[in-house]
């Protein structure tokens, strides 16, 4: 997946922006995380005796996947339909919950980076280990872009719509 978010997304209508978020990021994370978990389990198994083995990384990734999947389903089944129906005022509660959960995702990524030695590979790392850390770096960048797009563009649009309705 391309790690860059197109600049023009800021000018997208809510429907197009939501479609972009779901197809680009939600689908992407659903593909990335199971593969990262698989790679991590393999590295942890094969290199268990290595001093820099990222022990516990697969379990942390699995917990993160469960949290993220629950979060994305809430967006897809509750929040995004509200925004598409123009229910910006009532969406304020779910938006604050999503923003709180976004902070939890960043906390999870900090734990992942800690377990993975900030993605610094040992000199003798195998190709699987290298692929794991490369994939984690890509995933972290894309998750950050995803959260930025929701918090600073989509949710900001909803907030502006509520302010505009209050002043109308």
The pLDDT tens digits of the residues spanning 13-50 come to: 899 999 999 999 999 999 999 999 999 999 999 999 99
Among residues 7, 9, 32, which one has the least CA distance to residue 140?
Answer: 32
Residue 44 confidence (pLDDT): 98
- pLDDT tens-digit readout, 111-166: 999 999 999 999 999 999 999 999 999 999 999 999 999 999 999 988 887 665 55
97: CB partners within 8 A, 6+ apart: 74
Question: Which residues, including other chains, have CB under 8 Å from residue 71's CB and lie 6 or more apart?
Answer: 98, 101, 105
Question: What does the pLDDT read at residue 34?
Answer: 98
| Segment 89-93 mean pLDDT | 93
For residue 4, pLDDT over 60 is answered with: no
User: Where do the domains of the chain lie?
Assistant: 8-167
- Burial 82-109, CB ≥16 within 10 A → b, else e: bbeeeebeebeebbeebeebbeebeebb
The pLDDT, as a whole number, for residue 165 is 53
């Amino acid at each position: 997946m391309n790690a860059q978010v197109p600049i023009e997304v800021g000018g997208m209508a809510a429907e197009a922006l939501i479609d972009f978020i779901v197809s680009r990021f939600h689908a992407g994370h659903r593909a990335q995380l199971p593969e990262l978990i698989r790679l991590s389990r393999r590295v942890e198994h094969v290199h268990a005796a290595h001093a820099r083995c990222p022990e516990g990384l697969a379990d942390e990734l699995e917990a993160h996947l469960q949290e993220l999947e629950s979060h994305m389903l809430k967006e897809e089944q509750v929040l995004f339909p509200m925004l598409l129906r123009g229910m910006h005022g009532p969406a304020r509660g779910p938006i604050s919950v999503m923003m709180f959960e976004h902070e939890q995702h960043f906390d999870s990524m900090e734990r992942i980076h800690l377990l993975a030695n900030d993605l610094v590979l040992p000199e003798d790392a195998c190709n699987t280990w290298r692929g794991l850390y490369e994939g984690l770096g890509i995933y972290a960048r894309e998750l950050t872009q995803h959260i930025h797009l929701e918090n600073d563009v989509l949710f900001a649009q909803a907030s502006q719509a509520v302010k505009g309705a209050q002043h109308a």
